Amino acid sequence: MAGPGSIKIDDPTLGPNDQGLIWQGIVIEKNCWIGHGVSILDGATLGEGSVIGAAVLTQTIPRYSIAVGVPAKVIKRQDVQHELVND
C-alpha cells in the first residue's frame, strides 16, 4: 500500500513532478480476508467477502472470490446464500 508522500514513477527519465500522477485509491469492501504478504497496488479493488493470499493485487477481484498469485488471479468463486434473520 502506498503511504503518504509516496510517488509512483512510470518513466525513469522524468522527475517526480513531471510524471502526471493520478492516484485512483485502493478499495477493500466489507468482510474480506487479506493473507500474510499480500501487496495491494493503487487502483485495485477487493470485492466484498473475498479472500486473497500470497498475491499482488493489481486490479478488481469480484465479490466472494478467492484469489492468489502474482498478479492475483481468481481461483475459485464462493457460493454464498444469504438468509434473512428476524430478531
The confidence score (pLDDT) of residue 7 equals: 58
Successive 10-residue mean pLDDT values, the chain, 87 residues:
58 70 83 93 94 96 97 93 69
The confidence score (pLDDT) of residue 10 equals: 66
The confidence score (pLDDT) of residue 86 equals: 73
pTM: 0.69
Residue type, 67: A
41-50: long-range contacts (C-beta < 8 A, 24 or more apart)? 42/2, 42/8, 49/78, 49/80
Residue 17: phi and psi, rounded to 5, are -75, -10
The confidence score (pLDDT) of residue 38 equals: 94
